[in-house]
Amino acid sequence: MNTEYLKIGDISKDRPLIEKAGETLRNGGVVAIPTETVYGLAANALDETAVKKIFAAKGRPADNPLIVHVSGAEDVAALVERIDPRFPALAEKFWPGPLTVIMKKSALVPDVTSGGLDTVAVRCPSHPVAHAIIEAAGVPLAAPSANISGKPSPTKAEHVLADMQGRIDMIADGGSCEIGVESTVITLAENPPRLLRPGGVTPGMLKELLPDLVTDKSVFSALEKGAKAASPGMKYKHYSPSAEVVLLKGTLENAVKYVNRHGGEGCAVLCYEGEAQKFNVPAFEYGRENDMLSLAHGVFDALRKLDSGFTRAYVRTPEPEGVGLAVYNRLLRSAAFRVADADNPIEVIGLTGPTGAGKSTVSKYFKDNGYYIIDGDLLAREAVKSGTVLRALAEEYGADIINEDGSLDRRKTADRAFASPEKTKRLNEITHPAICALTSMEIAKAQSENARGAVIDAAALLECPPILALCDKLACVIAPAEERLQRITVRDSITEEQAKRRISAQHPDDYYISRTDYTIHNGINDDFRPDADKVIAGERNK
Ligand code: TXA
Ligand code: MG
């Protein structure tokens, strides 16, 4: 499909363009329109076929309802079963503007538009171009944000082009969206009224008219497994750039320290004005620290900047108050609820030891004591699934180390990588940054889940300096060789010969003991718990 691009600067001068967009919409087409919040993907809300085109263009799940955009409060009566008595005052105060109100729908609104719900969300945008296009279309317009489902919402026509070119009839470019985060969504279809999505109209502003307004749990937290979403949109992955995002709380000074420790290849930072120079990774400023409107305006554009090749990013995050609540809510979702606190970073314990010494048993003890366990060996396997790592490995060791299904032939890679010390060094140079990045993400997740600390359980920990740098304490688990021999023969169902060979290929106990702060003795006659407790308490035993 050819997507026509209309640049609309002035609604009176560009009248013919407005009429053209209106006509396309009247005829069942899909047009991206600018609003004061974000760009919307508009179609006739009362025309099922037209609305289905929106879902197709976005790749949006059919049960996620659309907001119906009107040109004034007087257009709402036809769309709802009955006007809620609290609605007129809300419209009077906040319309046109970034407030969406949900009420029971009338039969006029097709089920496709309401995602099968018996309610409808209505909003009257204040952007002059949006307003003019709704009037020119002469029908209410269903319009979700004009991004591919799951991506950050578009606040500039170029964002819409990136996501929608070739998928829709037309893009009306009305410049950059002033507010930058989507409208506040409240429902009057239940009592007490509920805030489903924070936006430019803040809870404080609403409370004057809706003193009993409550905030839906989904504003601050992930939906619990099996729970029903008050707003279906909250079920889905949201606002996600291709990079993995972590919110970073804390002072600038501590944020810089945190990023210096956790950053590295592929990492970027989103920060406040005047801060970019302080970080040792690429940093994008998205607004002024105590100016929530500026942060709202810049946040989605900044998230989209990460799509230029970054794999992860730490984001300086405002307090969830006023318009800051909307910014925080969007960032929280883009980060899949990972929040790290640079002022009080979580303690990280590195746990290692030779095979068969019982690291897993000790790990389980830490877990039972409130620690979050990071399986380093698993992350090492995960890291070689990334395209960049696979490409680098293929370049180093030959294209035939990649299997037909695109996965890594681990044995072949190991044979070649361990053929010489130089080759092994290259393996580490390629894989360690990726393993480290995954580990940092897990550490942030551990903190988000309020774990007491994080334990990195990894056999090869001591051979991975960048991971060692993430650890606050290092502990090893050791056990007598003959007991380890017995354990691994049973555990891995191998012969005693094989087990012996495996053990002799490993470092002696002293290698682990001399390179760690704590030793946990885990022989058959030992009780390892007092040693593990010393790690927790910080009582070094050497
Ligand atoms: O600012 C905005 O609201 C933008 C511009 C284009 O107007 N639109 C927008 O639409 O953000 P969308 O579809 O991206 O987000 C609408 C949210 C979704 O989370 C959806 O689930 C929720 O509102 N929603 C819509 N109708 C609903 C209903 N009847 N009941 C509950 N939630 C509803
Ligand atoms: Mg959206």
If you search the block for the tokens 């970034």, which residue do you land on?
A: 98
The number of the ligand nearest the C-alpha atom of 35 reads: 1
CATH code for 348-381+427-537?
3.40.50.300
Minimum-distance ligand 1 atom for the alpha carbon of 196: 32
Does the beta carbon of 67 sit less than 6 angstroms from any atom of ligand 1?
Answer: yes
Domain spans, the chain = 4-211, 244-341, 348-381+427-537
Mean model confidence pLDDT for the chain: 95
Across the range 466-480, mean pLDDT stands at 97
- Work out the average pLDDT over 122-138: 98
At the fourth CATH level, the homologous superfamily of domain 4-211 is DHBP synthase (3.90.870.10)
Token pair in block for residue 292 = 């929530």
What are the CA-CA distances from residue 197 to residues 84, 87, 141, 371 (Å)?
20, 18, 20, 33
Q: Region 455-477: what's the mean pLDDT?
A: 96
Cβ of 219 below 6 Å from ligand 1: no
Give the pLDDT band of residue 231 (cuts 50, 70, 90).
confident
Residue 225: pLDDT over 80: no
> pLDDT tens-digit profile of 410-451?
999 999 999 999 999 999 999 999 999 999 999 999 999 999
pLDDT for the residue 323: 97
Give the long-range contacts of residues 229-232, CB within 8 A, separation 24 or more: 230/187, 230/194, 230/196, 231/185, 231/196, 231/197, 232/61, 232/63, 232/64, 232/65, 232/115, 232/117
Residue 242's pLDDT is what? 86
CA 50 to ligand 1 center in whole angstroms: 17
Amino acid 538: pLDDT: 96
Considering only CA atoms, which residue is closest to atom 31 of ligand 1? 231
Q: Is 66 in the pocket of ligand 1 (CB under 6 A)?
A: yes
β partners of residue 248: 316, 340
Question: Same fold for the domain at 244-341 and the one at 348-381+427-537?
Answer: yes
For residues 208-233, give the mean pLDDT. 86
Report yes or no: 366 and 347 within 8 Å, Cβ to Cβ: no
Q: Give the nearest ligand 1 atom to 41 CA.
A: 6
What is the CB neighbour count within 10 angstroms for residue 448?
21
Residue 182 Cβ inside 6 Å of ligand 1? The answer reads yes
Q: Is residue 143 in contact with ligand 1, taking CB distance under 6 Å?
A: yes
Higher-confidence position of 428 and 225: 428
CATH 3.30.470.10 applies to domain 244-341: no
Pocket test for ligand 1, best of 100, 216, 329 (most atoms within 8 A of CB): 100
Does ligand 1 lie within 6 Å of residue 37's CB atom? yes
User: What pLDDT is recorded for position 26?
Assistant: 98
Distance 231 CA to ligand 1 centre (A): 8
| Residue range 254-262: mean pLDDT, rounded | 97
Cα–Cα distance between 342 and 30 in angstroms, integer? 45
Nearest CA, atom 12, ligand 1: 144
